[in-house]
Amino acid sequence: MMLMLGILIGALPMPDYENALLAEAEERVDQLLAKGLVEEADTFLVQFRTHVADDARLLYSQGLTQRLLGNAEQAKVHLEHSLQQDPSLAQAWYDLGEVQILLGQVSEAEGSFQKAARFSEDHPNGWAAPFRLAELAGERKNTAAFEGWLVEAMKRGFSFQQTVWGSEKWANYLSDPELGDIMRRLITVHENESILENWDLP
């Protein structure tokens, strides 16, 4: 692993070597995670951040690997440190929300998802945070927030058919008189009514 880091350092020109190194490190982590090699990604991050360079995005990546390894408390520490360095890092807010849910901190998670939604409006996956906020609202039977966040998620590319069709949780929402009415209306207007016909309800 240290040999790899040395090769990265030696191959990059000055004076932008640090930014290039950081980009290379992020790409390496993404490759390892895509292969399911979470422990290897975490080890790489520890060594790179200790011996080469560090920034908010690598702190976020370390928080992500720790979350995937089941270390919620440690993940939260890394994600919070990442956001101290870059409060606009949407993916860190999103993952912090997921970690807070794991730790039973639902109200804090809602605030984190709201910040993730604010900073990810133009992101290709910018629907994810509004979607999670809609789920939290659905669990509380808060119909106004449920509809509002679903509408926002759909504006950003969310699709019932591609994302939650067949989901037991969302089938339960569909069976609820008020939440189901909202879903039926949105699906009928914005997608395809056949989704409703083929959705197995509890």
Residues 92-146: pLDDT tens digits? 999 999 999 999 999 999 999 999 999 999 999 999 999 999 999 999 999 999 9
Beta-carbon contacts of residue 33 (< 8 Å; ≥ 6 apart) = 41, 64, 65, 68
User: Could you give the CA distance from residue 149 to residue 153 in angstroms, rounded to a whole number?
Assistant: 6
Q: Say whether both 4 and 101 belong to one domain.
A: yes
Beta-carbon contacts of residue 100 (< 8 Å; ≥ 6 apart) = 76, 106, 108, 109, 112
Q: Say whether both 105 and 128 belong to one domain.
A: no
| Domain tally, the chain | 2
pTM: 0.88
Task: Tell me which residue range forms the domain holding 191.
Answer: 120-202
Q: Say whether both 93 and 150 belong to one domain.
A: no
Q: Say whether both 36 and 95 belong to one domain.
A: yes
Q: Say whether both 64 and 96 belong to one domain.
A: yes
For each of the chain's 202 residues, which pLDDT tens digit applies? 544 444 444 444 444 778 889 999 999 999 999 999 999 999 999 999 999 999 999 999 999 999 999 999 999 999 999 999 999 999 999 999 999 999 999 999 999 999 999 999 999 999 999 999 999 999 999 999 999 999 999 999 999 989 998 889 999 999 999 999 999 999 999 998 888 887 877 6
Q: Which of 112, 141, 173 is the last residue of a domain?
A: 112
User: Could you give the CA distance from residue 143 to residue 152 in angstroms, rounded to a whole number?
Assistant: 14
Q: Which of 70, 87, 112 is the last residue of a domain?
A: 112
Distances (CA, A) of 45 to 20, 32, 59, 75, 113: 15, 11, 9, 13, 25
